[in-house]
Amino acid sequence: MTIKVGDRLPAATLVKVTPEGPEQVSSTDYFAGRRVALFAVPGAFTPTCSAQHLPGFVAQGDALKAKGVDEIACTSVNDAFVMKAWGQASGSAGITMLADGNADFAKAVGLTMDGSKFGMGTRSQRYAMLVHDGVVEQLFVEAPGEFKVSSAEHLLSQI
């Protein structure tokens, strides 16, 4: 079942990239008590993700926070070391990188895709959501191969 607006995020373990190294966090704890703009990409270092998706959230970070967003986070079905390297290479210090290496979170929210024909296996669909105290307030899932509704600019226009 795909998550929808008004649903509480399911429990899953993510790995938060920190300066001290990888730190396991439960989605229940991570999203509790605050408003988080979460966006998901099919893969770190992939073309659209690196050229448009992540840079858009970096550029719009202050504007999102001015509209009541406490934190901006990115998740992908990659390990924490890849997410850390991608974040550093992209200059995204203001974005919390959340590794979903086994796609546990993507599966739990029902937003996976089959990237096998690209040699990528199970991946997350491209989406953006606004989560308030663990409940989905806004959700924008891209059609396959598109990049429109999950952009930082679109999310910002909906808040």
The residues that are catalytic are 49
d(CA 112, CA 76): 11
Q: How many residues does the chain have?
A: 159
**H helix runs in 53-149, sequence order:** 54-59, 61-66, 80-90, 104-108
**Residue 125 near residue 34, CB atoms below 8 Å:** no
Pairing assessment for the beta strands 71-76 and 96-99 based on DSSP bridges: parallel
Hey, is 47 helix, strand or coil? helix
